[in-house]
Homo-oligomer: A and B are copies of this chain.
Amino acid sequence: MTSERAPRIAVGPERDPRFERAVVGGGGIPCDFEDTPDALVWTAGPDGFPEVLPSSVKWVQLPTAGVEYWLSQGIVRAHPGVTWTSAAGAYAAAVAEHALMLLLAGVRALPAHLAATSWTPEALAPAVGTLRGATVGLVGAGGVGRALIPMLATLGAHTLAVTRSGRPVPGAVETYPVERIDEIWSLADHFVISATATRDVERLVGASELAAMKPTAWVINVARGDLVDTDALVAALQTGAIGGAGLDVTEPQPLPDDHPLWTLPNAVITPHDSNPPPLRIPAYLEHVTENVTRFASGLVPTAVIDPSAGY
């Protein structure tokens, strides 16, 4: 494909007109799957994915940010010579907004306010904190983390980022490589876990990490439940070793009905709905338009899947 000709792009499994408009918006021409498309924009899960792609297809766009299942089923590997992209980054702003909401609600003691049935500022006001001047430890600075940093900055909070490489993350006061992660637990006031979901990172936050935190610290996890030791977290919440936890992901997940996290007053659980279905489609449409624009211009689309890295 050259930049001289508008690319022909099939939308599947069905020719959804919203996605065909997104293709047109990026400078592509919608076509049937059988009609020698240059690329395929997929809008559903892996189950109905075609076993054989037309040889004309050079690029496939998948609708999810995490692609573990597509990789483990061998779907990506079965089509050599094709560039695959995920929707990584497309939903980052929604998840970052959710993380900010959980953090603000925690720091400003919203759970205690919602439980009150009487005007008692003398009881509630001393628990109201602020992000202004606070330091937030951001574990993982992928799309979600990078979207969160400017949100924190306009609230007057400072970010300490932790990444694999430790290369400076724009907007962070300081960036630590993951080998130095232990330094942040006593340094930051609050924590947001937004590490990319890969299998080689586990249990970042356990009993000793929780013990190092300030007693007012809130821990927000929007990444993956097993990055936090749930039993150690429950103990820290029960004893007041930390301020609280806001969890969009848990281990086990789904969290069983009788789990103590449901009734702890300083735990806020959202059932992995930081990026719920009604918000996903508009965000994926934007991502499709952007990537079709890049493809039509001969550029590499964003969020290319690297099977060896697992995302």
Contacts and interface: CB of A to CB of B under 8 A. Distances in A.
A97 B128 CA distance: 11
Contact of A154 (B108, B131, B150): B150
Given A130-B94, A270-B113, A119 B279 contact: no
A188 interface: no
Contacts of A270: 108, 110, 113, 124, 128
A69 interface: no
A101 B104 contact: yes
Interface-central residue, A125, A132, A256, A279, by most chain B CB under 10 Å: A125
Nearest to A270: B113
Interface string A119-163: 111001110111111000000000000000011011110000000
Interface stretch (A189-197, A203-211, A261-269): A261-269
Contacts of A128: 98, 270, 273-274, 276, 278-279
What class of interface size applies to chain A in its complex with B? 35 or more
A95 to B, nearest CB: 11
B119 A254 contact: yes
A255 B118 CA distance: 7
A121 B104 CA distance: 22
B119 A110 contact: no
Nearest to A268: B114
Interface-central residue, A121, A256, A274, by most chain B CB under 10 Å: A121
A100 B104 contact: yes
B131 A97 contact: yes
Contacts of A268: 110, 113-114
Given A128-B279, A271-B120, A110 B113 contact: no
Given A124-B273, A276-B125, A278-B126, A110 B105 contact: yes
Interface string A49-79: 0000000000000000000000000000000
Interface-central residue, A98, A105, A154, by most chain B CB under 10 Å: A154
A292 B97 CA distance: 38
Nearest to A152: B154
21 contacts: A97-B108, A97-B130, A101-B110, A104-B104, A105-B105, A113-B268, A113-B269, A116-B262, A117-B257, A118-B262, A119-B253, A119-B269, A119-B271, A125-B271, A125-B277, A126-B277, A126-B278, A128-B270, A129-B279, A133-B282, A151-B151
